[in-house]
A and B are shown apart, each in its own frame.
Chain A
Amino acid sequence: AQTVTQSQPEMSVQEAETVTLSCTYDTSESDYYLFWYKQPPSRQMILVIRQEAYKQQNATENRFSVNFQKAAKSFSLKISDSQLGDAAMYFCAYDLGGSEKLVFGKGTKLTVNP
């Protein structure tokens, strides 16, 4: 079974600084997709960034970027120039290609200090 591990239950960062959230996953498949979702206190989960496993280039969305290490099965999220609005729970998720069912990690609570 596929599993997703987020080893940091909580993280904190100073406003304007950079933080990296860790995620590892376990799969024997070669074709899959990886996602980071954000859940702010308002509770609605929103997609932050996604990565196709067959793409070697790391995905980037404005201040958010990933470090995808396929051999190591690692998919970390880097948030640059952290803002107060980045404070949220962050979930890493894995989707076996074509299954359309996501497996989520347990989440990392990010606090941004002013």
Chain B
Amino acid sequence: DVKVTQSSRYLVKRTGEKVFLECVQDMDHENMFWYRQDPGLGLRLIYFSYDVKMKEKGDIPEGYSVSREKKERFSLILESASTNQTSMYLCASSSSGLNSPLHFGNGTRLTVT
């Protein structure tokens, strides 16, 4: 089974802090994604990556950046955390090719105070 591991299940940070959310997948997937999940809004794509060192903006990239130095790892960075970034963050991966399903991690619930 594919395993997507997010480093933290819960995280509490202060406003203005730099925050790193880490995600690792063990199935050699080419594609990795960061989504944000908020009640009543569903999942919204922040950033995604089709390959190492490659990234593309999703629908809500403002206030975030990403890093993919190795194929298995995709990091989401909040340069200066703000309270409106309090949310559930979901990482996912998939293999390249049509109709490949996403495999999700367990999510990180981030609270910014």
Inter-chain contact A91/B42, CB cutoff 8 Å: yes
A15 to B40, CA, bound (A): 26
Inter-chain contact B107/A43, CB cutoff 8 Å: yes
Chain B residues in contact with chain A, CB under 8 A?
A: 31, 33, 35, 40-45, 48, 50, 58, 88, 90, 92, 94, 96, 98-102, 104-107
For chain A, give the interface size range: 20 to 34
The answer to whether residues A43 and B42 also contact, given A100-B94, A101-B58 and a CB cut-off of 8 A, is no
From B31, B41, B104, B105, give the contact of A100 (CB < 8 A).
B31
Chain A residues in contact with chain B, CB under 8 A?
A: 6, 9, 33, 35, 37, 42-47, 50, 52, 91, 95, 97-98, 100-107
- Of all chain B residues, the one with the shortest Cβ separation from A45 is B104
The answer to whether residues A50 and B104 also contact, given A45-B90, A91-B43 and a CB cut-off of 8 A, is no
Inter-chain contact B106/A106, CB cutoff 8 Å: no
From B42, B94, B105, give the contact of A44 (CB < 8 A).
B105
Chain A residues near B90 (CB-CB < 8 A):
45
- Of all chain B residues, the one with the shortest Cβ separation from A42 is B106
Could you list 5 examples of A-B contacts with CB < 8 Å? A44-B107, A45-B90, A52-B99, A100-B94, A104-B42
Chain A residues near B35 (CB-CB < 8 A):
104
